[in-house]
Structure 1
Amino acid sequence: MDTADLLERCYPGRRAELKRDIFRKALTLFNEQGIEATTIEMIRAECDTSVGAIYHHFGNKEGLVAALFFTALDDQARLRDSYLADATTTREGVQALVHSYVDWVDSQPEWARFQYHARFAVTKGPLKDELVTRNKTRNKALLEWLFNPGRQDELAGVPAELMLSLIIGQADSYCRAWLSGRVKGSPKAYRELLADAAWRSVALDKTQ
């Protein structure tokens, strides 16, 4: 999967061609120059379009950053939900969450790198309330699956607010190190180790 594939999935069709181009060029600039240093004029020059066209689609730079961030989250959630749908046990579900996270970062490193850098800006920016609303909608099925009463007997009494951090935290830490170049091994090479570690973090019976 590459950037073009992701954008085609999220914004298909010829009418969205300019939007995809703006996204593609903005993503590259934000990752290469930094979010603060990148201007709308720099993006306009790369896209060979007008500033007005960019503002028409996104409102301002903060809107463009948020739109890219939301797109990354939605695509990541789409893969997560497809993996989770195939899980038949609680352990398989926990492993599916880790596998999907690792596989998405491995296949979309530029989007993942941007996602990490942009998170603070979006959570503190003018669209922070929209992010909260989108997250609730995006994660509704996931939380219902995780906290199904039938699963609680298999989990080690982990507080709800801590659950996802324990499941994804180790994979997230390694993925960040890989994206920054601090480690060389692809996260996908360690997906089983990371998934097993996640299960041991939350399971009541570590041997099952």
Structure 2
Amino acid sequence: MLQDTFERVLPGARKSTKRHILRCALECFLESGIESTTIDTIRQRSGTSVGTIYHHFGNKEGLVAALFFAALDDHKAVMWPELERANSPKTVIEELVHSYMDWVTRQPELARFMFLARSSVAAGPFGEELAVRNREQYSVLHKWLAEGVKLGDIRSLPKETYPSLLLGQSENYCRAWLSGRVPTPPGDHAPVFADSAWRSLAQQI
């Protein structure tokens, strides 16, 4: 599954070494944590040289960011088509939750890494790139939220509250599943969380 993911976001034979390093880095980060993993650890796991790793990623922060963005791009590839096919604010909200929880179920390693790395990427030198990517990724969602408010279907709330209301509960469940605290895959409960997200934003039920 991971091989397919990296092939999709980094296609082509010329990027095979880069994909291999990313897969090995992901294993190291999940086993030892981001802070404890060194470039030399990844070098040993991947069988490449330090120079090759630096050539492709610049430094450890660049490697962490490249892996995070690869995961983000893979999630976007799943989510975007569903959001673009939606025809109402309710459908957009439900599809967002479904696509997110289904993706976590299919890509638990990448999802676990994203939870580990999100704050360091946001606070590091790639924070602005992450902000731009997030704005682009959720542009369709924001359009539908604004339309829903205009139509009176969605409550007008402070903009910063919408992400937590949309995905806060589903993210919490995904974290619990990824840590082994609950047994049922998130995708199995997506309808429950999608309905809850809609109810938290809908003007009237």
TM range (shorter): over 0.9
Q: What are the within-5 Å matches in structure 2 for residues 1-208 of structure 1?
A: 2-148=1-147, 152-206=151-205
**2:48 corresponds to which letter in structure 1?**
T
Q: What whole-Å deviation, never above 9, does each CA across 1:41-83 have from its counterpart, x for those lacking one?
A: 1111111111111001100001100111111112112211111
**1:159 corresponds to which letter in structure 2?**
P
Q: Aligned-pair distance for 1:156?
A: 1.8
Cα distance in 2 for partners of 1:68, 1:148 equals 34
Unaligned residue ranges in structure 2 (runs of 5+) = none
Does the 8 A contact of 1:6 with 1:75 survive in 2?
yes
Task: Out of 150-159 and 11-20, give the one that drifted further.
Answer: 150-159
Task: Give the TM-score of the pair, scaled to structure 2.
Answer: 0.95
Q: Secondary structure at the match of 1:119?
A: helix
**2:200 corresponds to which letter in structure 1?**
S
Q: Aligned-pair distance for 1:149?
A: 6.0
Q: Secondary structure at the match of 1:148?
A: helix
Does the 8 A contact of 1:74 with 1:138 survive in 2?
no
Task: Give the TM-score of the pair, scaled to structure 1.
Answer: 0.93
Does the 8 A contact of 2:83 with 2:140 survive in 1?
no
Q: What whole-Å deviation, never above 9, does each CA across 1:76-122 have from its counterpart, x for those lacking one?
A: 12211111122222211110010011011000000000000001111
The percentage of aligned residue pairs carrying the same residue is: 48
**Paired residue total:** 205
Cα distance in 1 for partners of 2:88, 2:103 equals 22
Unaligned residue ranges in structure 1 (runs of 5+) = none
Cα distance in 2 for partners of 1:192, 1:166 equals 15
Cα distance in 2 for partners of 1:152, 1:72 equals 34
The change in CA–CA distance for 1:120 and 1:50 in structure 2 (over 3 A counts) is same
The change in CA–CA distance for 1:168 and 1:40 in structure 2 (over 3 A counts) is same
The change in CA–CA distance for 1:156 and 1:176 in structure 2 (over 3 A counts) is same
Does the 8 A contact of 1:90 with 1:151 survive in 2?
no
Q: Aligned-pair distance for 1:151?
A: 5.3
